[in-house]
């Protein structure tokens, strides 16, 4: 959950940067045009007979169009990924709330069973809350230094 929230925050900042780059959506508007150009050139290569140099030129143009298309689609991909991540976060939150409610329900059942067990065994208090053990104060230990343990030998001067 934490990872997804961090990823969502990072994607939001990246998307904000992309939108500032392309304020008038000029790149987005060119997506359809670029896809049509790419399809035309690929169709031209596959159907027309041309020389090797002409085919190389067409392939270079296709590669340039692919680069422009990738730049234009970067923002769209980020938006889609952000949508997926936010959907995952919502699903995780729903799952967590369901699990927490099941845990609370099982906890109350377990408390009831524990009270019934204590009652049947004749142990202590039979109220809903079991007795808490009293804290026993432990005597504090004295601090022990290494000087207390180790015998220091002094060298005699000659």
Residue 49: its pLDDT value, please?
86
What is the model's pLDDT at position 125?
60
Which residues have C-beta within 8 Å of that of residue 8, sequence separation ≥ 6?
82, 85, 86, 89
Residues 105-158 have pLDDT tens digits of: 999 999 999 999 888 888 766 555 555 555 656 666 667 766 666 666 666 765
């Amino acid at each position: 959950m934490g990872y997804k929230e961090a990823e969502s925050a990072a994607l939001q900042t990246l998307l904000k940067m992309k939108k500032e780059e392309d304020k008038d959506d000029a790149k987005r508007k060119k997506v359809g045009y670029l896809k049509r150009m790419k399809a035309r050139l690929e169709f031209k290569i596959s159907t027309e007979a041309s020389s090797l140099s002409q085919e190389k030129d067409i392939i270079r143009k296709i590669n340039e169009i692919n680069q422009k298309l990738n730049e234009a689609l970067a923002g769209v991909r980020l938006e889609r990924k952000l949508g997926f991540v936010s959907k995952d976060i919502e699903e995780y939150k729903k799952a967590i709330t369901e699990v927490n409610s099941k845990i609370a329900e099982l906890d109350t059942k377990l408390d009831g069973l524990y009270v019934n067990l204590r009652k049947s065994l004749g142990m202590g208090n039979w109220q809903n809350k079991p007795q808490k053990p009293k804290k026993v104060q432990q005597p504090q230990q004295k601090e022990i230094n290494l000087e207390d343990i180790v015998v220091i030998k002094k060298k005699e001067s000659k």
